[in-house]
Structure 1
Amino acid sequence: DFTQQVVTAIKNNSLDAMKKKFCSQCDVLMIEQVHCLSGRERTQAELALALDPLIDHGKIIIFTGNQLPRTIPNMSNSLRSRLAGGIITSINPPDFETRKRILVRKAKSQGVNLGADTVEYLARHLKGDIRRIESAVIGLITKSSLLKRPINLDLATEIIHEIVGDPEPLSVTSIKDMICNHFSLEPQQICSRSRKKEVALPRQIAMYFSRKFTDSSLQVIGREFNRDHATVLHSVKKIEKQMKISSKFKSQMDYLKDQLEKQKWRP
């Protein structure tokens, strides 16, 4: 912790030695939650001074925080300018495939190999940062050990229920609304007789997800989109075929499926 090092160095009257150590021994400096330095004037001043030789020697410096440098309150101009002088980028929550890799890696680090269906299920329902995903794996392993139960889809379902809550069932209407929103269409457009690709494809996608996510019959789905049951069945098969031949299209469908799952589960 940089703040603690500064406090210790001040008490020992060894600030210069600390900064020299940083410059000579540090190839990469990473400080998390830099926003927590707000109001700590002495720490900010010493950090700003310590950064200069690191920058001059081409060292790698990484800061993380939940605010932009310009919005952190009670931050000195000298430190703020140094923070703003680098590349600023956001770190988004891990996507579906990344969540799967995190789950597999964390489980293996605990000596456990998760089944593919368990990984898939957990990745679908666990949103948020890496810590939350990893804690779910620990919870799964711990519960398995305490209850002497195998780690499988049933146990994973219980863990998700404890972490996330009960699922909100999706309806054909909610799926249609979500797809319309994604493709910037009005509900009346997707239900129209238009065969334009920019309308027909979203309609087919909405029908496909309605079939996969709900218990509604082909006839019920068809009525929602002003189509007959044969058209719904044709749309489902067409989407399935397209996903097999186009990895780009499958990625798009995975993304949309992920968005629907977010609607389905309460935070």
Structure 2
Amino acid sequence: MTTPDQDDVRLLKILPVKEIWGEAQKLLAKRLAQPSFESWIRPAQLTEYNAGQAVLAVSNDFACTMVTNNHAETIARAIEEVTKEKVTVRVVVDPSVRPEAYVATIGSITPNSTPSDRFQPGMYGAAHLGASQPASSYVSSDQHNAAHAHFATSSSTAYAAGNGAQMDGAPSMMAAESGMAAGSAQHFSQGQINDYRQGQLGTSVSSPFTNAGNNQANQANHGGGPGYMPPPSRLPDAVVIARSNLNPKYSFDTFVVGSHNRFSHSAALAVGQRPGQAYNPLFIYGGVGLGKTHIMQAIGHDVLKNNPNATVRYISCEKFTNELINSIRDDRMSDFRKRYRQVDLLLVDDIQFIQGKESTQEEFFHTFNALRDSGHQIVLSSDRPPKAIARLEERLRSRFEWGLIADIQAPDLETRLAILRKKCAVDGVRVDDEVLEYIASIFTTNIRELEGALIRAHAYGNLTGEPLSIAALAGMLQPTQPQKPKVTLTCDRIIETVAAHYRVEASELRSAKRSQDLALPRHIAMFLAHDMIQMSFPRIGEAFGGRKHTSALYAHSRIKELTAKDPQLAQAVKQIARQLAD
């Protein structure tokens, strides 16, 4: 006669990997933060299991590294609880792996159930002997969708409105909540569901990114209750904004949208509505004075408007570095890490200044990982795309390119006029259209200069009491008009301009050094020397450290090939060429 434990062991020997992984996922959904579970565990697939050797498949190399380094031990412990034997997990790459391929029975988890309750001898026996599985054993897609609609109507609607259709496999709620079957949901009060959220996922029910979007649906379906928190209905007060380092003037309401920034604006709106889920990180780049800081801070205001309890922090890269240095000096690194790794939204301006700063890059790498793994949003701005930031660690560069990269170009004439009119409306001043058109025709590449010219023009009219004329305006704005002196383009000027763009020394580009951070800017300088001043390849080789003409020829063909495949690099080369042509 066999004991229940013997039956359990015998059953485990024939249990398919799908069921083992389904049970392990239930445990992992409780032990890991929801973003980590959704990003790394739900999309993975247990493909093999034999005598304690588990093979877990993920879709790409990066996921393989993340799961191996951060979650393999936790996964092994979860599988051990299911199989009752010592387990070793090996993670492999299988591009065919897709989230929709899995049947994770998270919907069958109840707040008080334990692994032993959910895994009993005979639980799968009939199915393995060929009998039909009970209808309640798995959550069907219809049940899943019904439950999701039941608990997340507001959140789903907001996402659909902001982003069109949801991407395949993209999570829209906590795994445990979205998987709760419609048939079982009716047996829980709202308070029990909130207790379940806390117990299963270890997060507070008042988390601004998981709670605010669902409260209207919860109130409508459950009539309030002890766990109900009303949705925010007011803008955050001045204290909250000041603590976030946000400028009250930098909102989406005051941001003028044109063809030059429409893509960045749409991406920023999506992030403001769904932080941590839409595009993470969001990397915005463009020239000086084009509105990067404005659009970044507008995201912060939007998040605080929707969720006053959210923690938002805006900081420049230079200030981040200075705070890091001071924290190391004062032995307050734990406070520093807490301040930046526990925010819901981190906005870092001018991230290009992180280049060459090894300690700052190391700390920001870990801050980035902590925030993204926790489902918190990161927004970065730069004057160039990630690929063009010299002396940046590859692990950081790959993370900057992980989400969405959006650029902002110089505004066209119509948009510059719209910006000036918006400025007049916000400041409550009246300026004739011909004056605005004149200012817009002069200041073409920098919005700060454009708005500064308007302020000077209005001040001139107020202080002199004279009506503004084009003649008076021309004389008054003459000292501040962008100057375009004719400069003969030389190879030295090309080298200096490229070096300044990539923040390296011009002498290093001319030297025989072959370090990786110099290769790209040196090749670009060689490329431009040939294309812009028709310099011969032998002369180019001599100008760059006495190299052979074949080196210059290779550099030219290499940049030509890369710019054809890489829009970001092509944009960077065009930007340098425009600067040289002015």
State the partner residue of 2:237: none
Match of 1:83 in 2: 400
Counterpart position of 1:14: 332
Q: What is residue 107 of structure 1 aligned with on the other side?
A: 424
1:1-267 mapped onto 2 (5 Å cutoff): 1-24=319-342, 26-164=343-481
CA deviation vs aligned residue, 1:179-230 (integer Å, no higher than 9, x gap):
xxxxxxxxxxxxxxxxxxxxxxxxxxxxxxxxxxxxxxxxxxxxxxxxxxxx
Query: CA offsets, 1:117-176, max 9 Å, x none?
Result: 222222233201211111211222333344343345444333454433799xxxxxxxxx
d(CA) in 2 for partners of 1:140 and 1:46? Answer: 46
TM-score, normalization: structure 2? Answer: 0.26
Q: Secondary structure at the match of 1:133?
A: helix
| Letter of the structure 2 residue corresponding to residue 34 of structure 1 | I
* 8 Å CA contact 2:348, 2:380 repeated in 1: yes
Aligned in 2, Cα 1:110/1:55: closer, same or farther, shift over 3 Å? same
Q: Is the 8 A contact 2:327 2:333 kept in 1?
A: yes
SS at match of 2:323: helix
Question: How far did 1:18 drift?
Answer: 2.2
Decide whether aligned partners of structure 1 residues 78 and 165 sit closer, same or farther in structure 2, where only a CA change above 3 A counts.
closer
Structure 2: which 5+ runs fail to align? 1-318, 485-581
Query: How far apart in 2 are the matches of 1:50 and 1:150?
Result: 55
Q: Secondary structure at the match of 2:404?
A: coil
C-alpha contact (below 8 Å) 2:461/2:467 kept by paired residues? yes
Unmatched 5+ stretches in structure 1: 168-266
User: How many angstroms apart in 1 are the aligned matches of 2:449 and 2:421?
Assistant: 14
Inter-partner Cα distance in structure 2 for 1:114 and 1:46:
49
The structure-2 alpha-carbon separation of the partners of 1:166 and 1:140, relative to structure 1 and needing over 3 Å to count, comes to: same
Task: Provide the aligned C-alpha RMSD in A.
Answer: 2.7
Structure 2 counterpart of 1:141, one-letter code: H
Is the deviation greater in 39-48 or in 88-97? 88-97
For residue 204 of structure 1, what is the aligned residue in structure 2?
Answer: none
Aligned residue pairs: how many?
A: 167
Structure-2 change in CA distance of 1:58 and 1:166 (3 Å):
closer
Q: Distance in 1 between matches of 2:474 and 2:411?
A: 21
Partner of 1:261: none
CA distance in 2, matches of 1:43, 1:102: 36
Structure 1 pair 130–18 and aligned structure 2 pair: CA distance change class (3 A): same
Identify if the C-alpha distance between structure 1 residues 153 and 123 changes in structure 2 by more than 3 Å, giving closer, same or farther: same
**Partner-residue secondary structure (3-state), 2:356:** coil
Q: For residues 154 and 81 of structure 1, do their structure 2 counterparts lie closer, same or farther at Cα, with a shift above 3 Å needed?
A: same
| Cα-to-partner distance string for 1:222-267 (whole Å, 9 max, x where unaligned) | xxxxxxxxxxxxxxxxxxxxxxxxxxxxxxxxxxxxxxxxxxxxx7
**Aligned residue for 1:194?**
none
Percent identical among aligned pairs is: 26
Give yes or no for contact 1:104–1:113 (8 Å, CA) kept in 2: no
2: CA distance, partners of 1:150 / 1:127? 25
Q: What is the one-letter code of the residue matched to 1:3? A: T
Letter in 2 for 1:10: I
Sort the Cα spacing of 1:97 and 1:15 in 2 relative to 1 into closer, same or farther, 3 A.
Answer: farther
Amino acid at match of 1:4: N
Residue 8 to residue 153, structure 1, CA distance change in 2 (3 Å): same
Please state whether the residue corresponding to 2:435 is helix, strand or coil.
helix
1:114–1:60 distance in 2 versus 1, CA, 3 Å: farther
Are residues 153 and 110 of structure 1, via their aligned partners in 2, closer, same or farther at CA, if it must alter by over 3 Å? farther
CA distance in 2, matches of 1:121, 1:38: 40
In the aligned structure 1, how far is the partner of 2:402 from the partner of 2:482? 43
Q: Shift of the alpha carbon at 1:15? A: 2.2
Measured in 2, the distance between the counterparts of 1:146 and 1:137 equals: 14
| Partner Cα distance (1:98, 1:15) in 2 | 45
- What residue identity is the alignment partner of 1:92? Q
Give the conservation status (yes or no) of the 8 Å contact 2:431–2:458. Answer: no
The structure having more radius of gyration, on CA atoms, is 2
Given the superposition, is the C-alpha separation of residues 150 and 99 from structure 1 closer, same or farther in structure 2, using an over 3 Å criterion? same
Q: State the partner residue of 1:229.
A: none
CA positional deviation for 1:46: 0.8
Q: Is 1:32–1:63's contact at 8 Å kept on the other side of the alignment? A: yes
Deviation at 1:104, TM superposition (A): 2.1
Structure 2 residue identity aligned to 1:31: V
Q: Higher relative contact order at CA 8 Å, sep ≥6: structure 1 or structure 2?
A: 1
AA in 1 matched with 2:381: T
Check whether the contact 2:365–2:396 (CA below 8 A) recurs between aligned residues. Answer: yes
Residue aligning to 2:194: none
Shift of 1:17: 2.3
